[in-house]
Amino acid sequence: MPFYTDRVLNGSAVAKVIRSEVADGVKELAKKHRAPRLVVLLVGEDPASKIYVGNKTKACAEVGIDGETVELPASTPQEELLERIESLNEDDSVDGILVQLPLPEGHDVAQLQWTVSPDKDVDGLHPINAGKLWQDQDCFVPCTPAGIIEMLERREFEMAGRHAVVVGRSAIVGKPMAALLLRQNCTVTVCHSRTKSLEETCREADILVAAVGQVGLIGPNHVQAGAVVIDVGMNRLTERRQIDHYYPGDEKRRRAFEKKGSVLIGDVDFTRVLPKASAITPVPGGVGPLTIAMLMVNTLESAKRRLQRTKGD
């Protein structure tokens, strides 16, 4: 459908530009100090997490960040994870620490997030950073919502005064997304599983962000004509009849499904929403690459701030 192609927001292309800017910043920092260093803790065998972490490490290598993944078995006790985080906090050569989510059953996620030093919390999930975000103070911001704002700003999309509806209230996307849109002077509504009139509320949105993790959650009846639709969902279709329903006549996706046994899909019924939206992010190739690019931005920023601080001592 070539007519619509300019409506599709190419997150991969924006992410590439951001990564190249980070690469320049890394070069400059390495000349006077050293390259930034990011350590990712990957606990357990979640296959999706392994792919995400692999992509993060690849992005680090591309921009010149020293990226390291510490792989630990699902049986690793909470105490050991806490000790590892504490030792990374104290290690002066580490600029960023990230605990990949979800963690295997039995771990106290909040306790781990509280333990990461707020100065190295490149995921922006420490409550100090989360609190600062709502008070408009300088802080690390979670990468997915930060990437969405970055993309909208780079497209010079006017956000002030628009009605933004965020569907989903997670600590990693929904809540920080709402805070950032508010910071952009949007009027913000947050919807969730107990929202009574999801369809009507979404239909009032000029900017609609779907971040729930539910296939087909947002259909054409949820979307006002001309709205900007941002799809944060990352789900898998594993049945042929689903592919036929969500991507009728899409031979490329059908072949991908036949080869791999599944295809990625967001929370938005892309095929049916596309004709109504003025702009929409695809899955894959929309929000995902932006998340990783912003992790690179946060890690570089952390290294620069830490250097500034030591100079000031």
35 binds ligand GUN (CB under 6 A): no
Q: At what angle do helices 174-183 and 127-134 cross, to 10 degrees?
A: 30
SS3 (DSSP) at 108: coil
Binding mask 201-240 for ligand GUN (x = CB under 6 A): ----------------------------------------
Using rule CB under 6 A, residue 43 touches ligand GUN:
no
Is residue 98 within the footprint of ligand GUN (CB under 6 A)? yes
Among 100, 115, 235, 302, binds ligand GUN (CB under 6 A): 100
Per-residue mark of binding to ligand GUN, 110-149 (x: CB under 6 A): -------------x-------------------xx-----
Residue 275 CB, nearest approach to ligand GUN (Å): 30
- Tell me the per-residue interface mask from 52 to 71 with ligand GUN, x by CB under 6 A, - otherwise: x-------------------
Catalytic residue among 66, 95, 119, 123: 123
* 113/92 Cα distance (integer angstroms): 19
Q: Whose structure tokens read 């070069």?
A: 27
Compute the least distance from the CB of residue 141 to ligand GUN, in Å. 11
Site for ligand GUN in 172-201 (CB under 6 A): 172
Would you put residue 260 in left (φ > 0), alpha (ψ -120 to 50) or beta? alpha
Nearer to ligand GUN, 30 or 171 (CB): 171
Q: Quote the least distance from Cβ 174 to ligand GUN, whole Å.
A: 13
Q: What is the 3-state secondary structure (H, E, C) of 216-259?
A: CCECHHHCCCCCEEEECCCEEECCHHHHHHHCCCCHHHHHHHHH
Which position has the token pair 């920092």?
29
Q: Least CB distance from residue 86 to ligand GUN, whole Å? A: 18
Give the CA angle between residues 238, 268, 191 to the nearest 5°: 120
Q: Which single residue brings its beta carbon nearest to ligand GUN?
A: 101
Query: Which of 10, 33, 13 shows the shortest CA–CA distance to 304?
Result: 33
213 or 220: CB nearest ligand GUN: 213
Pairing of β 235-237 and β 263-265 = antiparallel
Applying CB under 6 A, among 23, 30, 82, 101 the residue interacting with ligand GUN is 101
Nearest 5°: the CA angle 47, 243, 269 is 90
Residue 268 CB, nearest distance to ligand GUN (Å)?
18
- Selected binder of ligand GUN within 22, 35, 99, 268 (CB under 6 A): 99
Q: Is 123 a catalytic residue?
A: yes
Type of residue numbered 225: A
Q: How many CB atoms lie within 10 A of CB 218?
A: 26
Q: How far is the CB of 144 from ligand GUN (least distance, A)?
A: 6
Q: Which of 66, 95, 100, 113 is catalytic?
A: 100
Residue 100 is among the residues annotated as catalytic for this protein: yes
Per CB under 6 A, 152 contacts ligand GUN = no
d(CA 177, CA 221): 23
Phi-psi region of 171 (alpha: psi -120 to 50; beta: other; left: phi over 0): alpha
Taken in order 125, 285, 292, 70, the sign of the CA dihedral is: positive
Q: At 216, which amino acid appears?
A: G
Catalytic residues: 56, 100, 123
By the criterion CB under 6 A, which residues form the site for ligand GUN? 52, 98-101, 123, 143-144, 172, 291
